[in-house]
Amino acid sequence: MEIKKVDNLQRVINNINKYANLIDEENINIMEVCGTHTNSIAKYGINSVISNKINLLSGPGCPVCVTNEDYIDKAVYLSSKDITIITFGDLVKVSGNNCSLVVAKSQGRDIRIVYSISEVISIARELYPKEVVFLAVGFETTAPAIATIIRKVHEENIKNLSVLTSIKIMPPILNKILSSKYKKIHGIICPGNVAVIAGGDRFKFVYEKYKIPAVISGFEGKEILASIYFLIRDIYKKAEGKKQIGFKNLYIKWASTKGNKLAQSLIKDVFKIEDVVWRGIGNVENSALIINDKYSTIDAEKRFHLQKHFNKKFYKDEYLIKEQFRNGHKVCNNDYKACRCKDVLLGNIYPFQCSLFRKVCNPEKPVGPCMVSEEGACSVYYKYHREA
């Protein structure tokens, strides 16, 4: 069923439930990888209109949630060296190993929140010659805009602006989830926005390699329902030993098979691929976009020798800062260790299954990153009172 033909939502819902009932499994686990899908599912109450055999599980698609603690530590460290830090709002509230940027800001550090990427260069120009570091966090979707900034800094020789990146790509983490024993996943709702850049073919491997049906979906309620319908019908076919379709791009209007060539060439020009640690999950091979040698002078990691500083001495220094913060502020929430963001990001549990959810952890006092970001599953479930 193509999305354009979905004019009778009740019929779609009935068909989803019909197939769910025909499948001889107690739980049918469908993972939505993107935080925007998690948001739409909760906002439209999609989980409440489909069979309770279908578990719609969040995945690792919230960039702030998967940004590792040491990245925050590095940003806090740079702010202690009289460097201006520019970032988007969500990231400032996420704790590193010692503290968050919001705590650093409360200690008088120059940490500025921007709402659009275009503000970054004008702030750097305004503050010249003071060093400015832009915290660039995201997935394939934001990588072209970040690449554009890096090229502009290079071309216009803006000497005081550098970029600390934490940009990840989707396929490696999906490979990690699907090849591990975290939880049996029956179907995947793939992010339409990533496919717009990287191409619809980007997610074909889910079916080709794992024989798990995958669909590229838009973000409206009816689009997500159409995607679930496609998946559940294919899961049923698989259970019956019938021929599956396997993979479908239902976002074809915006995401062509090969994606946006211009965006891809920008990414290729500026970044290279390396391993990176995902917060709570661990190292994921070939999952990071790192600034390549051509633009290395704009890489804050290299400009400020962060690898060198990020050793025992650094931790000692930061430990002292932490003690200083302790006099006036609670640096890290003591409940942090009980946070189950890792399990939320891997689809092992729903946010409301974390013992801290709502009782201790809420958007005003977030314990883990999944409650901080607007795309974080815990924050979405909290906002829309999703508890099933």
Interface residues with ligand SF4 (CB under 6 A)?
A: 339-341, 344, 351, 354, 356-357, 361, 367-368, 370-371, 378
Instruction: Give yes or no for a contact between 377 and 344, defined as CB atoms under 8 angstroms apart.
Output: yes
Q: 100 has which bridge partners? A: 95
168 versus 340: smaller Cβ distance to ligand SF4: 340
Q: How far apart are CA 88 and CA 137, in angstroms?
A: 9
Q: How far apart are CA 82 and CA 76, in angstroms?
A: 11
What 147-150 contacts at long range (C-beta under 8 Å, 24+ apart), as own/partner pairs, is 147/266, 147/267, 147/269, 147/270, 147/271, 148/266, 149/117, 149/120, 149/121, 150/270, 150/291, 150/295, 150/298
175 versus 379: smaller Cβ distance to ligand SF4: 379
DSSP run (H or E) holding 6: none
For the CB of residue 339, give the shortest distance to ligand SF4 in the complex, in Å: 3
251 versus 350: smaller Cβ distance to ligand SF4: 350
For the CB of residue 87, give the shortest distance to ligand SF4 in the complex, in Å: 20
For the CB of residue 217, give the shortest distance to ligand SF4 in the complex, in Å: 24
For the CB of residue 368, give the shortest distance to ligand SF4 in the complex, in Å: 3
164 versus 344: smaller Cβ distance to ligand SF4: 344
For the CB of residue 370, give the shortest distance to ligand SF4 in the complex, in Å: 4
Instruction: Give yes or no for a contact between 58 and 375, defined as CB atoms under 8 angstroms apart.
Output: no
For the CB of residue 98, give the shortest distance to ligand SF4 in the complex, in Å: 18
Q: How far apart are CA 12 and CA 222, in angstroms?
A: 9
40, 148, 150, 164, 306 from 155: Cα distances, Å: 40, 10, 9, 18, 25
For the CB of residue 94, give the shortest distance to ligand SF4 in the complex, in Å: 10
122 versus 355: smaller Cβ distance to ligand SF4: 355
- Torsion-angle region of 319 (φ positive above 0: left; ψ -120 to 50: alpha; else: beta): alpha
Q: How far apart are CA 331 and CA 337, in angstroms?
A: 14
Residue 249 is encoded by which pair of tokens?
Answer: 């791009």
248 versus 340: smaller Cβ distance to ligand SF4: 340
Q: Minimal CB distance to ligand SF4: which residue?
A: 368
1 versus 360: smaller Cβ distance to ligand SF4: 360
144 versus 363: smaller Cβ distance to ligand SF4: 363
Residue 110 is encoded by which pair of tokens?
Answer: 């120059």
What are phi and psi for residue 157, nearest 5 degrees? Answer: 50, 50
86 versus 345: smaller Cβ distance to ligand SF4: 345
Q: How far apart are CA 351 and CA 59, in angstroms?
A: 12
Q: How far apart are CA 330 and CA 384, in angstroms?
A: 29
For the CB of residue 97, give the shortest distance to ligand SF4 in the complex, in Å: 16
187 versus 366: smaller Cβ distance to ligand SF4: 366
For the CB of residue 338, give the shortest distance to ligand SF4 in the complex, in Å: 7
Q: Which residue has the tokens 């400032």?
A: 92
Instruction: Give yes or no for a contact between 323 and 330, defined as CB atoms under 8 angstroms apart.
Output: no
DSSP code of 375?
A: T
For the CB of residue 64, give the shortest distance to ligand SF4 in the complex, in Å: 11
